[in-house]
Every structure is written in structure tokens, then in C-alpha cells.
Amino acid sequence: MEYTSIIGYVAAFCTTASFIPQVLHILKTGQVDGISLQMYTIFTFGVACWLTYGFIIRDMPMLIANLITLILACSVLGLTLWKRMR
């Protein structure tokens, strides 16, 4: 594999997987005070647009990466809303 592709895959892996520790952090600590709801609302919408874009241009890596990110971002958004409403 070309080194440029490796950098791309590492980039995609990191920006997608990074949301896992955020979800776990909320589940473990129950703390959501520092999290911006506005950020996750805009971000989730943006990732949904990337997913749509990936679907239209039929780019499988883009589709998979953004589907996983969408699930994780929705989890952060949902958990934050749920904790704030209690």
C-alpha cells in the first residue's frame, strides 16, 4: 500500500474512533457539563451530509467511516440531552 493511502486510512480511523472514548467517558462519569450541545448538533448534521455525499459518489470507505462516526456522534448528542433533561 502506498504511504499516502496509509496516512489517509490512519486519518479516517483516528477521526472516527476518537468518539469512542467520548461516549465511554460520559457512560463512566455521567458528566456532560463541558459538552456543547450546539457543537454536536452541527457536527452530527455535518456527518449526515458526508454520509449522503459518500452515498451519492458511491465511495465505500467514506460511507463506512461516516456511518460509524454518525452513530457515535448521535450517542454523544443523545446521552448529553438525556443527562441534561434529568
Q: Is residue 33 within the footprint of its own copies (CB under 8 A)?
A: yes
Q: Is residue 49 within the footprint of its own copies (CB under 8 A)?
A: yes
Q: Is residue 8 within the footprint of its own copies (CB under 8 A)?
A: yes
Distance of CA 78 to CAs 23, 32, 44, 47, 74, Å? 10, 11, 11, 15, 6
Q: Is residue 85 within the footprint of its own copies (CB under 8 A)?
A: no
In the complex, which residues of this chain contact its own copies (CB under 8 A)?
A: 4, 7-8, 10-22, 24-26, 29, 31-36, 38-43, 45-47, 49-50, 52-53, 56-57, 80
